Structure 1
């Protein structure tokens, strides 16, 4: 399969297929005087003046072989051939039909077990994109092995693209897929069986096939995708292979993919089962004390990580679980603080004090001091409420002891504090007590006045009724 840097036209794509389908024609053409550079898994063929380029590839091609071998749990037969054409003209001498197919950078020949790269056309690529050329074409050979060469064109291209590392080309593919989705040009999965249709619309078929494979991995993990490849070798077509591997019909999977696609286009494409999950967003949320958002992010991450447990580093899963535990602890601390605030609103000062102590302890265990000032304000308010409540209780006690002046002062102080706290119910209680005390004092004053008047009256009556004094 050819790896192209830019979109090819339908006619040129068909010419490319004819070219790659006939390796015997290439062997009949004039050949470069190839030199060999052997690595553990490859025989690198290069032109006499390209020794440095051969050494460059020799430095990492075996690592890519190992990378794919680990991912697929399969080691394709070696040695493989990696042929480096220095220029497009060198490539055209062996593949004359390719003159009509612009943009070809690399291709793989399953039968000859050969990878081809046109070095001249990689000049504008990043180092990662150059490595991706080899990843892509080597994946075609591995996928052909695993599927008994029964994997259709669309899934072949999707799997090969999925094995690439993130690079600038990925963004271009996603942009093309977004346009195809918006224009209603997405292909039915059945079109993946039609190689002419796939290569006639590469601007749609390539990014769409990548998204379909990403969906299958996201849904069932990379191990299930490997199973799909293996089952394909024993199946009549992609439909039966999908149903055997995923346990549901291809029609259901295609519907689920369409529902899943918007999230993929909105950023989900940056996540790959073959790359360690990036917990950076979750770390930042937790570090900022945004515990609820962090917990939501981490629950989604853990659901995905557990599905991808066969390819994700265990330390990433462990860190995600630890961050979630911290987020949940932070949410409990926040709930304690919120419950304390609500208790203060209800003027339940004693409960508020207990909740605040628990909240302060919870935040301390997280070494999070950001809420310390708020908790201190709440604590001050709760303390004032308790003190005012104590003053009101003291006023009632003094009243029972008939120490009305002192009771009145205590009730006044309590009323003023409750008013400052906005505790109208207890303020009214204090004012009611003070009014009662005032009434009692008036009654006592009146009673004393009456008693005094009665005493005076009795004294006057007694004087009148008393016998006149005897005269001696």
Structure 2
């Protein structure tokens, strides 16, 4: 098979998948017309089929609930059931119900999320492999999940991208890889502006489908499936996919597109030859810096640095330096807090000074109030510590009353600061002083009593001489 024929065959295979969605669009408002239907219920579906397809309907009944459960687990979401799986026995019966699709060849299956229905043409599906028939269902059922999660706001490009992503691997993936390699090497990748363009996506599916699949694959490899799911749920509250991407991924869609172009060569196992300069939007990273989210800003700047040109890399380096100072200032602030909690007041004072200096370098005043409060607590802790040291020194000089006053003051201040260790030390000293005071009082009382007794005994033994 020559190269031209192979390309034609690849395009024809892609049309089989693509034209189903186009047909659903064209036929959206046409009433169904089938003389006889049999219905069968599963846990999540209402199967509708012709009498002659009872056997294959039984096979689909065994598959469709399993696929629903798999997708529900993946998307962490369950569309309201029952959904409908309608099996048209022949192409003619399908065209009778959908006249607008008669001039669109190649349709095998489609999904109508408005009717919450998946349709399969049995006559055509029978010619496919088992994997291809399962992928028909996975692809179309994914459309319903994505549409319900996004409240119908997911654009056509990303819809087709996620539907392909959820398919099982098959020969058509090799075809997509081949087309993507060719487009990349020739510098003819489409811009993401076409993701909203229904005519472009369905007008050249042999080019659009591989690219939309690779875009969704990139987004999921970049930040995981859960983040892509958040994109779907953010769309109903967004003005479009670009604003939703900026909110969910922290960078603009323009930057994401540049990252995708830089990611593709490795994904396709190509040398990253002369790719066009990436268009870098630094505004989201600058917004993270302005908000004081230095850790996240550094992560985004590091990602952008790998795809930026020399001039933009210089700007990124300046932003990274600022972010690193802010990150260090935040770390110093947290370390100062830990030192305060541990009663390490001298260490906390040093850390607070270093944090204040770092914040001044980047003109960030957000933590000024917090650091001022920390400094005030440090001053109180140092004063309480000094009072405790004076109490200890006074106790050594037997200045009991002065030592007690300072120990009491230190205990109250440490208790107010939540410094239980030093509070207990101060209370222990106060108890010791009280014990010393009681011992001294007892000793003085004993000495006084002994002196009085000696005087009385002395008078008895040596009476005073009589005066003549």
TM superposition score category, shorter chain reference: 0.5 to 0.7
Q: CA deviation at 1:114?
A: 0.5
Q: CA deviation at 1:24?
A: 3.0
What whole-Å deviation, never above 9, does each CA across 1:66-120 have from its counterpart, x for those lacking one?
A: 0000000000011010011122111111112222111111111111100001112
Tell me, in whole angstroms, the C-alpha distance in 2 between the residues paired with 1:131 and 1:123: 11
- Name the residue aligned to 2:111: 108
Q: Does 1:166 align with 2:169?
A: yes
- Name the residue aligned to 2:13: 6
Aligned match of 2:30 in 25, 28, 40?
25
Tell me, in whole angstroms, the C-alpha distance in 2 between the residues paired with 1:221 and 1:16: 27
Asked if the contact 1:155–1:192 (Cα under 8 Å) also holds between the matched residues in 2, the reply is yes
- Name the residue aligned to 1:187: 190
Residues 189-268 of structure 1 aligned to structure 2 (within 5 Å): 189-266=192-269
Tell me, in whole angstroms, the C-alpha distance in 1 between the residues paired with 2:89 and 2:107: 14
Quickly say closer, same or farther: Cα 1:19–1:215, change in 2 above 3 A.
closer
Q: CA deviation at 1:210?
A: 0.5
What whole-Å deviation, never above 9, does each CA across 1:280-330 have from its counterpart, x for those lacking one?
A: xxxxxxxxxxxxxxxxxxxxxxxxxxxxxxxxxxxxxxxxxxxxxxxxxxx
Asked if the contact 2:83–2:116 (Cα under 8 Å) also holds between the matched residues in 1, the reply is yes
Q: TM-score, normalised by structure 1?
A: 0.52
CA RMSD across the alignment? 2.2
- Name the residue aligned to 1:148: 151
- Name the residue aligned to 1:136: 139
Quickly say closer, same or farther: Cα 1:99–1:203, change in 2 above 3 A.
same
Asked if the contact 1:185–1:204 (Cα under 8 Å) also holds between the matched residues in 2, the reply is no
Quickly say closer, same or farther: Cα 1:138–1:18, change in 2 above 3 A.
closer
How many residues are treated as equivalent by the alignment? Answer: 259
What whole-Å deviation, never above 9, does each CA across 1:428-454 have from its counterpart, x for those lacking one?
A: xxxxxxxxxxxxxxxxxxxxxxxxxxx
Quickly say closer, same or farther: Cα 1:108–1:241, change in 2 above 3 A.
same
Asked if the contact 2:135–2:168 (Cα under 8 Å) also holds between the matched residues in 1, the reply is yes
Q: Does 1:35 align with 2:38?
A: yes
- 1:101 is paired with a residue of what secondary structure? coil
Tell me, in whole angstroms, the C-alpha distance in 2 between the residues paired with 1:176 and 1:32: 43
Q: Does 1:61 align with 2:64?
A: yes
Q: CA deviation at 1:126?
A: 1.9
Q: CA deviation at 1:125?
A: 2.0
Quickly say closer, same or farther: Cα 1:177–1:121, change in 2 above 3 A.
farther
- Name the residue aligned to 1:48: 51
- 1:61 is paired with a residue of what secondary structure? helix
Tell me, in whole angstroms, the C-alpha distance in 1 between the residues paired with 2:137 and 2:179: 23
Tell me, in whole angstroms, the C-alpha distance in 1 between the residues paired with 2:105 and 2:95: 11
Q: Does 1:93 align with 2:96?
A: yes
- 2:187 is paired with a residue of what secondary structure? coil
- 2:118 is paired with a residue of what secondary structure? strand
Q: Does 1:127 align with 2:130?
A: yes
Tell me, in whole angstroms, the C-alpha distance in 2 between the residues paired with 1:16 and 1:215: 23
What whole-Å deviation, never above 9, does each CA across 1:211-242 have from its counterpart, x for those lacking one?
A: 00000010001111101111112110010011
Aligned match of 2:178 in 163, 175, 178?
175
Tell me, in whole angstroms, the C-alpha distance in 2 between the residues paired with 1:172 and 1:265: 12
Tell me, in whole angstroms, the C-alpha distance in 1 between the residues paired with 2:178 and 2:193: 23
- 2:189 is paired with a residue of what secondary structure? coil
Tell me, in whole angstroms, the C-alpha distance in 1 between the residues paired with 2:23 and 2:135: 24
Q: Which runs of 5+ in 1 are unaligned?
A: 268-472
- 1:171 is paired with a residue of what secondary structure? helix
Q: CA deviation at 1:132?
A: 1.0
Tell me, in whole angstroms, the C-alpha distance in 1 between the residues paired with 2:45 and 2:12: 24
Q: Which runs of 5+ in 2 are unaligned?
A: 1-10, 271-468
- Name the residue aligned to 1:389: none
Q: CA deviation at 1:26?
A: 3.4
Quickly say closer, same or farther: Cα 1:144–1:16, change in 2 above 3 A.
closer
- Name the residue aligned to 2:444: none
| Structure with greater Cα Rg | 1
What whole-Å deviation, never above 9, does each CA across 1:49-71 have from its counterpart, x for those lacking one?
A: 00010011011110100000000
Quickly say closer, same or farther: Cα 1:203–1:38, change in 2 above 3 A.
same
Quickly say closer, same or farther: Cα 1:167–1:240, change in 2 above 3 A.
same
Q: CA deviation at 1:209?
A: 0.5
Asked if the contact 2:88–2:119 (Cα under 8 Å) also holds between the matched residues in 1, the reply is yes
- 1:185 is paired with a residue of what secondary structure? coil
- 1:24 is paired with a residue of what secondary structure? coil
